[in-house]
Amino acid sequence: MMTSRILLFIFLIARVNCFNLENREPIVKRGVNNTYFGFSVALHKSEISLDLKHSWLLVGAPLGKNLQPSTNFSGALFKCPVTDFKSQTDCIQVPTDGNRPNDYDYEDDAPEKAPIKLRPPGNDEIKDGQWLGVNVRSQGVGGKVMVCAHRYIWSENLNSNQYGLGLCYSLNNNLEWEEQWEPCKGRPMLQEHQQFGYCQAGTSLALLKDGTALIGSPGPFTWRGTLFVTEIAGEFLHRNKNVYLGPLNDRPEPINKYSYLGMSVTAGRFFDNHNISYAAGAPRANDHGQVYIFNKQLTELEMVVEFAIDGKQFASNFGYEILAADYNNDGYDDLLISAPFYFQDFIGGGVYIYYNVRKCNWTSCESDAVLRGKSESQFGISLANLGDINQDGYIDLAVGAPYEEYGMIYIYLGGKEGISTTPSQKLHGWENAFTLGYSLSGGMDMDNNGYPDLLAGAYGSDAVVLFRARPIIDIKTETNGNTKVSCSKMIRPNFSFSFRACFTITSVKSGIDQVIVRCHVKEMFERGISRVWFKNDEDPNIKRNYQTRYFTLEHAKTEYCQQETVYFPNTTRDILTPIKFRLNYTISNNIPHSAILNQTSIKDFEATFQKNCGDDDICQSKIIMNASLLLNETVDQKYILNLGDLEEFHVEVNVTNEGDPAYEAKVFIFHPPAVRYIDIVNKSVGFRSFKCSKRNDTVVSCDLGNPLRANRSLVLQLRFETSAVQNQSRTSSEEEFQFIVFVNSTSEELSNQTKSVLNALISRKAEVKISSSYLTKTVVYSGEVKGEKAMKTFDDVGSVVWHSYQIQQLGPMPYADLRVTVSWPWQVANDKPNGKWLLYLEEVNITDGCSTYENRSEIKVTAFESTEDHLMNSFSSFDTHENEVTDGSSFISRLIRKRRESDYVVPTTIVTGKDNKQRKVVTMDCKENTAKCIKIHCVFPKYPKGRLSTISIKSRLWNSTFVEDYSQVDWVRILSYGSVGIEDPDIQQHERSIPVMLIETNAYPDLSIQLDSGVPLWIIILAVVAGLVLLILLIFVLWVLGFFKRNRIKDPTLSGNLTKQSEQETLLNK
């Protein structure tokens, strides 16, 4: 007896998401309304200490009221303490403007702390509207701080010239004023904007760890712009006091006019681990935007441009903000470039990521990834490095989108492959924090819980928001189990296995107090049907496919475990697919700012069955399947399905498994909708029974066993009926149906013979036959010639002539629409519209009846009295113009014609009989144009197989025509034609059909007819000769008697004229 067992394997799925920035109860600080408080922000700690008094939120308010006397809205810098979320207006202005370098020497006489005394602006400067606080940057914990006013104006004579030079202040770690920086002062300004007259230094700012300051100035040389690099930290006497800058000239290369170079600045080790390169954004260069990479040499103040990176879209402001950091830990800094005005469909803004800046050059530099925001959100207008907020060893990123709703901040995680392009968290603004994310600063732990926090500005609401990171509890999860179930246990209604799940706290820095962990394990079923249930300690009758338990964390305890028992019924079919479970640990009492579980606490594992499929436990079946239709095959390997011959047909499937057991083996038959499945023929083979069922109207599936064991062969026959096909219309007489048969299982399949495609030509044919059932073979004509008006009864017309046609439908189609046409000779042909009467139609009898066809009425000939009117009216349904039966009534008028219009006799044909005697025969045939025919149409709809119908036509031989014109012939052949066809375009006429029938009647003249035989020819010749002789003798006698001679009376006039004429002729001759 085979033993089954369940093995439990663990598959761990790590779902690392940045989820620990707490958006509940953030610290909010507010400034004076309409001062743009929050236009710039920076996190700063004056020293390394656990005391929060050294943690400051630095906020720029470019339109704020400064402490400097005699100034009005020149801008201010504020420092805000990290207090609880209820204190919002406790920010203090940092003294900046009005400070002057003291008069003490650096070495000897300076007091420990000089008193702060702010002086009003000098006569050479304008502070109002200078926008102090447009940028603020901190060097880091215990480092320096810089704040800038890019609209600061200076001039030796303010009445004549005013130069927008811009300035910056540097502050020490305690935010005390140290020095004023004016990198454009003292440079050529006579040509104003064409030189350094509108420098606007401080538009962008960066402070590096080595004490270097990068000051962006987009105004010099007609707003080409430049980047100033100088050292601000270290001993004054020992530091490098040079101010390095980007190349400036009047040429378009390397930087053209109106490029605004210096709108953003950053630095990084892009090319090696030792030397720092500098980058500056020029968002209007080449209309698309560019970012220039610089390197400096200590001996040259003008830095070298290595190359420029081009933007992709017009007016996208590529290079508006840039940022550098090593996000993938490959040892090289990566470069981020934003284009906040990029647009495409529903996309607005983009951040381009370059992981391999060292591979770029002037001609080629493609981004490695792109982050996208929503339309009109200005996504990417601010960027900030967050530091490692989830403690995975990689730097993370924040991107601001201040105009998406009330403002949005996107959090992206760094990793081995770089920055994830899917945000792990979104921080939403609200009504009182409009434009949240316009400015960002991160990477510093402000509340001393070991995790860096994020400061965001919302200048539209004059507020800043500090999002604090929650501590993360890292846990390690283990799940194990190994249960064996024998075949004897499989007989029980249910059987079970157990597993043990444990989690261990590996690290937590703080915030573990009062934390309750919820453990939830659940079956992850993929087919919509659960296969198992967990043991319920409280009520065994409740069956659930999940289990939930709770653990309260303790400082002294690090490991927590649970034992679970899982049941499933012995009727489970799917014993090949593993049973998948998900174990999820979450914080039950989610208190703001308390510790949170790392989302790597989600683990997936699965339980698998022992399946007797070899040492590797992988079932590799090899199923060979052949299918066929039990029908006659054609030459091209297609089947013929003659509808009507069979009420049903069979599909035979042969299956053999030459490999490992095939679990949940099934055969699927896809058939046309017009074919209906009936049942399986052989429902059992040996001890194995089979069940086939309809999945839908076109799919039948058959279970082959679970499993279909190795070296097992099966033969199935399935019945299908064709009644629906017979009633289905189509556009051609033959149609191809396709049956797709395939077999599969949940085992790994090695065979490629698991599918068969069977094509069947659907043949709809009907065998139709028309024959002669009764006819008048011979008829005799005699008597006197009568005119039409002399006819009083049918007997006056002539003898009766019968032609009967018999119609049959012999199948195999059970029904077919038949159309019968009889061509009836009723007049002698001539070159006129009407001819002499031939066969006068008396009546048409049709058994079973027929319907009309194309507005043509069936023949309706009724009995009539011996009157001329009834005789004529009987033809009112014939239209000689169309030569077919119609509903017209104008035929009578066409009968009134003069005899000379129809005096035409069909010529005779000499026929030699078996006795070698020649006989004169006349043929009245429509096809030979010797007779005029009318067409009698009759349609039999849905004519059933096996029915027999008859069309009998009774007529009268028009005796006068034959006596008058054909009394000297031996006989006259009169032909009519009957044809039958199938009206239904879906049905083809069978090859055995007899669609045409000819019926012939021979009319013979009566030998007793006495006709004038005429004068013999010799008498006529002799009479003509005698007449001529008599005429000649008469003329001779008259001539002898002088009959032709005339006696004239003399005319004197005529005589005189003749004499005169004679004399004139004589004179002329002389």
Which residues, listed in sequence order, are joined to residue 412 by a DSSP beta bridge?
Answer: 397
Does residue 316 sit in the same domain as residue 457?
yes
CA–CA separation, 166 vs 158, rounded Å? 15
The total number of structural domains that make up the chain: 5
Say which range, 361-370, 541-550, 613-622, 682-691, has the weakest mean pLDDT.
Answer: 682-691
- In this prediction, residues 848-858 reach a mean pLDDT of 49
pLDDT tens, 708-734?
A: 888 888 888 899 887 766 555 554 444
**CB contact at 8 A, 8 and 499:** yes
Backbone torsions φ then ψ of 1054, nearest 5 degrees: -65, -35
- pLDDT of 764 higher than 80: no
Q: What is the mean pLDDT of the chain?
A: 81
Q: What's 1038's DSSP letter?
A: H
pLDDT tens, 578-588?
A: 788 888 888 77
* Proportion of the chain above pLDDT 70, given as a percent: 80
Say which range, 138-147, 170-179, 905-914, has the weakest mean pLDDT.
Answer: 905-914
Does residue 178 sit in the same domain as residue 298?
yes
Judge whether 865 lies within some domain: yes
Does residue 376 sit in the same domain as residue 438?
yes
Judge whether 18 lies within some domain: no
Nearest Cα residue to 383 out of 438, 429, 460: 438
- In this prediction, residues 516-525 reach a mean pLDDT of 85
Does residue 569 sit in the same domain as residue 432?
no
**CB contact at 8 A, 922 and 909:** yes
Does residue 412 sit in the same domain as residue 460?
yes
Residue with tokens 């500056």: 280
Judge whether 4 lies within some domain: no
**Of 457-471, 649-663, 1025-1039, highest mean pLDDT:** 457-471
Nearest Cα residue to 221 out of 181, 254, 244: 254
Which has more confidence, 400 or 806?
Answer: 400
Does residue 682 sit in the same domain as residue 736?
yes
Tokens of 311: 């933007």
Judge whether 999 lies within some domain: no
| pLDDT score for 610 | 65
Q: What is the CATH number of the domain that holds 932?
A: 2.60.40
Q: Choose the final residue of a domain: 467, 485, 506.
A: 467
Q: How do beta strands 712-721 and 676-680 pair? A: antiparallel
Q: Choose the final residue of a domain: 609, 636, 667.
A: 609
Q: What is the CATH number of the domain that holds 667?
A: 2.60.40.1510
DSSP H or E run through 910? strand 909-912
Judge whether 776 lies within some domain: yes
Contacts of 829 (CB under 8 A, 6+ apart): 835, 904, 906, 929, 930, 931, 932
Judge whether 380 lies within some domain: yes
Q: What is the CATH number of the domain that holds 263?
A: 2.130.10.130
Does residue 732 sit in the same domain as residue 796?
no
Say which range, 69-78, 256-265, 486-495, 730-739, has the weakest mean pLDDT.
Answer: 486-495
Judge whether 567 lies within some domain: yes
Tokens of 164: 């927008």
| pLDDT score for 901 | 45
Does residue 849 sit in the same domain as residue 743?
no
**CB contact at 8 A, 401 and 420:** no
Farthest CA pair distance, the chain: 195
Which has more confidence, 775 or 468?
Answer: 468
Nearest Cα residue to 999 out of 821, 773, 826: 773
* Proportion of the chain above pLDDT 90, given as a percent: 34
**Domain region containing 524:** 472-609
pLDDT tens, 335-386?
A: 999 999 999 988 999 999 999 999 999 888 999 999 999 999 999 999 999 9
CA–CA separation, 418 vs 398, rounded Å? 14
CA–CA separation, 1033 vs 1035, rounded Å? 5
Judge whether 1016 lies within some domain: no
Tally the residues of the chain.
1070
Which residues, listed in sequence order, are joined to residue 297 by a DSSP beta bridge?
Answer: 300
Q: Choose the final residue of a domain: 565, 590, 609.
A: 609
Q: What is the CATH number of the domain that holds 495?
A: 2.60.40.1460
- In this prediction, residues 1003-1026 reach a mean pLDDT of 73
| pLDDT score for 886 | 36
Does residue 365 sit in the same domain as residue 497?
no
Does residue 968 sit in the same domain as residue 826?
yes
Does residue 596 sit in the same domain as residue 736?
no
Does residue 205 sit in the same domain as residue 291?
yes
Sequence letter at residue 462:
D
Burial class (CB in 10 A: 0-12, 13-18, 19+), 366: exposed
Torsion of CA 441, 447, 449, 451, to 10 degrees: 0
